[in-house]
C-alpha cells in the first residue's frame, strides 16, 4: 500500500464516528439465477444425468425370471437384486456396500475433489433437470430475473404456475418410481391410475415427490451449503494435490476489460476481462476468483463459461481450470499434476477399496443359498424311549434363499449310533423357510450323561454339491 493511500485511510478512520448497527444472525435467501452454460463439463454433467436417471427410472420396470428385477420387499424382508435374493441374515452386505461407497467417495474426493457433488449427486442431477424445465418455461437468466421483478400479471402467473406444474409432474414421477423399488411397480402404477393406493403408498410417494420438488426447485444450493454433511467433511479429504476448480490469479490479475488481440504486456492487465460470466453461471452464487470456498460444488460451470469467453477474446483457455493447490503455487505442468495423482494417500484408498470390493463379490459368489438354524426344545431334556434309546427333540429352521425349490436330506453326526427318528428327506420351496421338528436318538450308554456335541447337516439332493452344517447339543439325562 502506498504512503499517500495509507494516509487517506487513516484520515477516514479518524473522521468516522463509531455507531451502533443491528446485525441479523439469520438472512433471507437470495435467489440465484444461474446462466445457461454449454461446454465440455456441462456435457459431461448431462451425460451423468441421462445415465443415472435412465437407470433410476428404468430399472424398476425390468423383469427377471417372472419377477421385478430389482425389488426391496420390506414386508417380506427379501431384497431381490437381479439373480440375487438377500435375506435379513445378509445384512452384512449392506454394511459392506456402504463401506465401498464411503471409500469410493474418499478416493474420488482425494483425486478430483467434489466430482460426486458436481456431476452425479441427486441434488445436482435433479437441480439440473429442474433448471432445464425452468429455462424452457421462464426463459434465460435475464428473462427470469425480469419476471421475478415484475408485478403479478397473467403472463407471470401462467409462467410460474406452468413451471411448478412441470416440476410437480417430474417430482411425482420420481416419487412413484422410488416407491416402485419397494412395492411392485406395475401394480403400483395400476393402483395410482385407479386412485386406489394405500395410505402408506400415498404418504411415501408424496413424501419423495415433495422432497424432490422442494430440494431441486426451492432449496437447491441451500442443500449443499447448509444441509449436506458430505459438503462439510470433504475438506478433510482434500490435500494440496487434489484437483479443484481454480482461478489462475497469477494469469488473470489485475482484471479489467481490454481490446481483443491487445498484447498482455502493453495493456498492463491480466487475462481476466472481469465479464463476471463465471459468477453468473455459478449454481451456488459464488465468485470462484476469490479462491476455493466451501460453497463450491465442483461443477466446473465456471470453467466452461471462462473457456468460451477466452475463445472469444482470443486468449488461451484455462484461466479457470481443474488444477491443484501445489500446481498453482509452484506453476506445475499438467504432467506433474498427473504424476502426483499416484501419491500414497490415493494408493492406500485404492488398495483398501479394491480389497473390500474383491471380498464383497467373492463373498456374494460363494454365498450358500441355504441356511439352517437348530433350536433344541427347551421343554424337555433327553427322554428315554423304546429299546433304551435316549431321544432329544429339535426344531430345524431351514431357509432356502434361492428361488428354486430344493430336495434336502438331513443327516446327524457326532455320537456313536446316532440316528434321526423323523423323516430325513425334506423339500423346501424357493425363497421360503420351513420349521421342522426333528427327533434324534442315541442308544443308551453310548454317550456320556450331560451335554454332548452333535451336528446337523443338510445335503442337497438336486445334484449340486451343497451342504450346510450346524452345531447342536444332545443331552443325556443322568
Question: Binding residues for another protein, per CB under 8 A?
Answer: 13, 15-29, 222, 225-226, 377-380, 383, 393-395, 422, 435, 437-439
Cis peptide before 254 (omega within 30 of 0): yes
Q: Which is nearer to another protein, 349 or 394 (CB)?
A: 394
Closest CA to 371 of 94, 93, 92, 86: 86
| Positive or negative: CA dihedral 222, 228, 229, 235 | negative
Q: Which is nearer to another protein, 13 or 193 (CB)?
A: 13
Q: Which is nearer to another protein, 26 or 152 (CB)?
A: 26
- Minimum distance from residue 400 beta carbon to another protein (Å): 14
Burial class for 68, CB neighbours closer than 10 Å (0-12, 13-18, 19+): buried
d(CA 68, CA 185): 8
- Minimum distance from residue 421 beta carbon to another protein (Å): 9
Alpha helices (H) along 194-313: 199-212, 221-222, 229-233, 249-252, 264-267, 277-280, 301-313
- Minimum distance from residue 126 beta carbon to another protein (Å): 19
For 226, the grid coordinates are: 447448509
- Minimum distance from residue 327 beta carbon to another protein (Å): 29
Q: Which is nearer to another protein, 25 or 261 (CB)?
A: 25
- Minimum distance from residue 282 beta carbon to another protein (Å): 18
- Minimum distance from residue 383 beta carbon to another protein (Å): 8
- Minimum distance from residue 218 beta carbon to another protein (Å): 9
d(CA 402, CA 85): 7
d(CA 440, CA 276): 83
- Minimum distance from residue 460 beta carbon to another protein (Å): 22
Q: Which is nearer to another protein, 300 or 476 (CB)?
A: 476
Check if the beta carbon of residue 440 is closer than 8 Å to that of residue 421.
yes
Q: Which is nearer to another protein, 260 or 378 (CB)?
A: 378
- Minimum distance from residue 285 beta carbon to another protein (Å): 13
Helices 185-193, 154-179: axis angle to 10 degrees equals 140
Question: What are the Cα distances from residue 184, in Å, to 52, 62, 73, 124, 402?
Answer: 21, 11, 9, 28, 20
How many Cβ atoms are within 10 Å of 293's Cβ, its own excluded?
10
Q: Which is nearer to another protein, 143 or 227 (CB)?
A: 227
For 297, the grid coordinates are: 460444488
For 358, the grid coordinates are: 474383491
- Minimum distance from residue 396 beta carbon to another protein (Å): 9
Q: Which is nearer to another protein, 25 or 265 (CB)?
A: 25
Q: Which is nearer to another protein, 85 or 440 (CB)?
A: 440
- Minimum distance from residue 199 beta carbon to another protein (Å): 12
Which residue has 452386505 as its cell numbers?
93
Question: Half-sphere exposure of 69 toward its Cβ, with a 13 Å CA cutoff?
Answer: 10
225-236 burial, b at 16+ Cβ within 10 Å, e below that, comes to beebeebeebee
Q: Which is nearer to another protein, 29 or 338 (CB)?
A: 29
How many Cβ atoms are within 10 Å of 317's Cβ, its own excluded?
15
386: helix, strand or coil: helix
Q: Which is nearer to another protein, 222 or 240 (CB)?
A: 222
Amino acid at each position: 500500500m502506498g504512503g499517500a493511500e495509507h494516509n487517506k485511510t487513516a484520515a477516514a478512520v479518524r473522521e468516522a464516528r463509531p455507531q451502533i448497527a443491528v446485525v441479523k444472525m439469520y438472512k433471507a435467501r437470495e435467489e440465484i439465477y444461474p446462466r445457461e452454460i454449454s461446454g465440455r463439463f456441462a456435457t459431461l454433467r448431462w451425460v451423468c444425468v441421462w445415465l443415472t436417471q435412465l437407470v433410476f427410472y428404468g430399472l424398476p420396470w425390468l423383469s427377471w425370471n417372472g419377477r421385478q428385477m430389482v425389488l426391496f420387499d420390506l414386508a417380506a424382508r427379501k431384497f431381490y437384486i437381479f439373480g440375487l435374493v438377500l435375506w435379513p441374515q445378509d445384512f452384512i452386505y449392506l454394511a459392506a456396500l456402504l463401506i465401498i461407497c464411503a471409500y469410493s467417495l474418499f478416493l474420488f474426493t482425494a483425486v478430483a475433489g467434489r466430482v460426486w457433488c458436481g456431476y452425479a449427486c441427486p441434488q445436482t442431477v435433479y437441480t439440473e433437470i429442474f433448471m432445464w424445465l425452468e429455462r424452457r418455461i421462464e426463459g434465460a437468466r435475464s428473462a427470469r430475473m425480469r419476471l421475478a421483478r415484475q408485478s403479478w400479471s397473467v403472463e407471470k402467473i401462467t409462467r410460474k404456475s406452468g413451471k411448478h406444474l412441470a416440476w410437480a409432474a417430474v417430482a411425482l414421477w420420481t416419487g412413484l418410481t422410488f416407491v416402485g423399488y419397494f412395492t411392485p411397480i406395475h401394480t403400483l402404477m395400476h393402483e395410482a391410475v385407479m386412485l386406489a393406493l394405500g395410505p402408506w403408498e400415498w404418504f411415501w410417494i408424496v413424501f419423495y415427490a415433495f422432497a424432490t420438488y422442494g430440494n431441486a426447485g426451492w432449496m437447491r444450493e441451500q442443500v449443499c451449503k447448509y444441509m449436506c454433511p458430505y459438503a462439510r467433511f470433504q475438506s478433510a479429504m482434500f490435500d494440496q494435490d487434489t484437483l479443484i476448480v481454480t482461478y489462475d490469479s497469477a494469469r488473470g490479475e489485475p482484471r479489467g476489460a481490454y481490446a481483443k488481440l491487445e498484447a498482455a504486456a502493453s495493456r498492463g492487465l491480466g487475462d481476466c476481462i472481469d465479464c463476471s460470466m463465471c459468477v453468473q453461471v455459478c449454481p451456488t452464487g459464488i465468485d470462484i476468483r476469490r479462491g476455493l470456498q466451501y460453497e463450491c460444488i465442483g461443477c466446473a460451470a465456471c470453467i466452461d463459461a471462462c473457456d468460451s469467453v477466452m475463445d472469444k477474446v482470443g486468449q488461451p483457455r484455462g484461466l479457470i481450470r481443474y488444477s491443484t493447490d501445489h500446481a498453482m503455487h509452484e506453476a506445475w505442468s499438467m504432467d506433474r499434476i498427473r504424476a502426483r495423482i499416484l501419491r500414497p494417500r490415493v494408493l492406500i484408498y485404492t488398495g483398501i477399496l479394491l480389497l473390500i470390493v474383491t471380498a464383497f463379490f467373492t463373498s456374494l459368489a460363494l454365498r450358500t443359498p441355504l441356511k439352517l438354524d437348530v433350536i433344541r426344545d427347551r421343554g424337555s431334556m433327553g427322554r428315554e424311549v423304546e429299546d433304551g434309546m435316549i431321544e432329544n427333540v429339535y426344531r430345524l429352521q431351514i431357509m432356502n434363499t434361492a428361488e428354486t425349490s430344493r430336495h434336502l436330506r438331513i443327516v446327524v453326526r457326532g455320537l456313536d449310533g446316532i440316528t434321526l427318528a423323523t423323516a430325513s428327506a425334506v423339500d423346501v420351496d424357493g425363497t421360503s423357510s420351513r420349521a421342522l421338528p426333528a427327533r434324534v436318538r442315541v442308544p443308551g450308554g453310548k454317550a456320556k450323561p450331560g451335554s454332548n456335541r452333535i451336528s446337523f447337516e443338510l445335503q442337497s439332493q438336486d445334484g449340486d454339491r451343497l451342504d450346510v452344517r450346524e452345531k447342536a447339543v444332545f443331552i443325556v439325562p443322568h
